[in-house]
Structure 1
Amino acid sequence: MQPEIVQLIDMALREDIGSGDVTSEYFVPSERQARAYMLVKETGVVAGLEVAELVFKTVDPELEVRMMSEDGARVAAGTRVMEIRGSARSLLTAERTALNFAQRLSGVASKTQLFVEACEGTDAVVLDTRKTTPGWRLLEKMAVSKGGGGNHRMGLYDRAMVKDNHLVAESGGLQAGIDRLKKEKPEVEVELEADTLDQVDAFLKLQGVDYILLDNMSNESLRQAVAMRGADGPKLEASGGVNLSTIGEIAKTGVDFISVGAVTHSAVALDMSLEFVD
């Protein structure tokens, strides 16, 4: 588990527990042992189970966790995905934080799968964006992959993405900037945002362009851009105006990728609970 995720779990537990779980401390005997199941209450794709396990283990290393499903599995309502045994106090203290992680990430995975299913029969890959919950990016992008999607750049450091505001601010020419970047950081890919087919035509004449983002273009314009690109040009990514009712037709235009901010910023938590059985 990456250090950033361990740190996030620690922060979440400190936020919730504070100076102590007074309810469990004063109303649950210290010797009480319990068994509980993490239960999915609606159909969806589960993600974040290993994170939830780490929450339980962080609260109490003596807790025994048995996985009954795996991240990326599509499960029906009523499915038990995890069994936890041990101190009842520890189970109750960890319950909400563990569920918060699992529910949020399962919601992202479930929403992603809906978009992926809408693109079936095409080669288009559904991508996430940087529209993630601050501090949760690693986890939410992991959940997108568990839902069948792909990951766009992680941050500002692993891909140069020249958008309209950069074009306003830049000086010295695009090709010069690309050349400088490729010379100093050859491992970093370059993506240029195009609002018009004229821009697409201009960008296709540049050297070192790995992707062209086709922003808010009509499906007809997307098809024309694909034809202009040919077989060996940069990968094409469609973005803007993408929802479940439009993505299928966008995918049919032949673009390589479709970025969808909604898979993270508009995902609804999957309904899950912790069910105590003894």
Structure 2
Amino acid sequence: MMRPLVGVVCDRFFLGEHDLHSAKHSYVRALMTGANVSPVLIPATRDIETFDSYLDALSGLLFPGGASNVEAHRYGGQGSADMLVDPDRDHVALTLMREAAARDMPMLAICRGFQELNVAFGGKLHTDIHACGHSADHLEDLAEDLPTRYRYRHEIDISPAGILSTLANAPRVRVNSLHRQGVAALAPRLVVEARAPDGLIEACRVDGHTFALGVQWHPEVMLEHDALSLALFEAFGASCRGYRYSTQRAAHQEA
């Protein structure tokens, strides 16, 4: 059986004089091994004005983490000179989220993607959660090597009767959450799935959507030894397969 195609939104940045579109291999690998789907990279460019050709071909979307932050003007906030932004990714990700939600297409949003999910549906962000008094447990130390950097940072309290509650089968788990921005005001369409001990929202879902989940941490790097991380990607893959089946069935009935 052919694997469903799942779009992965790229970052756009310069390496020397080269203008690049990229996605970390950890996300691609997690989709292939955990979700059992075939990743398709979607370039980050404002040259894309309509996304129907992508959405018609895909069965799901992954919005990965990234080094940049969502532009502050998109949620009515104030940016800072040292804040790395990616306007092209913002354009692609925020538009795709709204259009995919209208189709009930499965979505998994991680770290920056989690923040995009909130902004896409009208929420607001803290530009710097640590300046707002939230715990340093969320803070990334770039001087650390990657395995150390992506270790468990803190616990989260999981809301009952949500997607994560079903997958984790526990009220509290540890996560490897690393971020500078965070939810200041949750979008009206979103429902809290989990919070950190300091009260910061760490996961949410789109209300009424079959599978549209955002998490602030990095399950893509923990598939081999973290049960919730693997369960999350497996559930996302199953939802993508269900979506492909339903759309193919609908197309067959119309033919």
Interval of TM-score (by shorter of Structure 1 and Structure 2): under 0.3
Larger radius of gyration: 1
Return the structure number with greater helix share. Answer: 1
Asked which structure has the greater RCO (Cα within 8 Å, sep 6+), the reply is 1
**When the two structures are superposed, what TM-score results if normalisation uses the length of structure 1?**
0.23
